[in-house]
Amino acid sequence: MFWLVLTFQGVVACSILARFGEAMAAVIITAFASGATTWAEFVDAGSKVERYTRTVRTINDLLNWWRNLSEVEKVQLCGGFTGKKVRSSWGLLEDAFPLKLGDF
């Protein structure tokens, strides 16, 4: 949250400085604001790694579950497989890889 507020303040300061013709100061503040944004993404890397690790473990559990089923069980489940398991797996992926506005 701190980095978001700092970046927002940088944007406001740049707007004010650009309005009064202080381009060099606006460039310097923009550089610091982009550095703060980059640092905020870097600092958050630990939680991303933890989330991705948890996702990979869960996907491996799902694959092991499927591999341990007999052929008869797999055939029986295929009709209902598009139900709960697929939805829960899709939800897992959505949690691990949330879309951001900049992803498009």
Residue 3 has pLDDT above 70, yes or no: no
> What does the pLDDT read at residue 100?
54
> What does the pLDDT read at residue 97?
66
Interacting residues of 55 by C-beta distance below 8 A, sequence separation 6+: 92, 93, 95, 96, 97
40-54, pLDDT tens digit by residue?
777 777 777 888 888
Which residue ranges make up each domain of the chain?
A: 1-43, 46-99
81-96, pLDDT tens digit by residue?
555 666 666 666 666 6
Mean pLDDT of the chain: 76
Residue 12 has pLDDT above 70, yes or no: yes
52 backbone dihedrals φ, ψ, rounded to 5°: -65, -40
Please state, in angstroms and rounded to a whole number, the distance separating the CA atoms of residues 30 and 24.
Answer: 10
pTM over 0.75: no
Residue 104 has pLDDT above 60, yes or no: no
- H/E stretch holding 59 reads helix 45-67
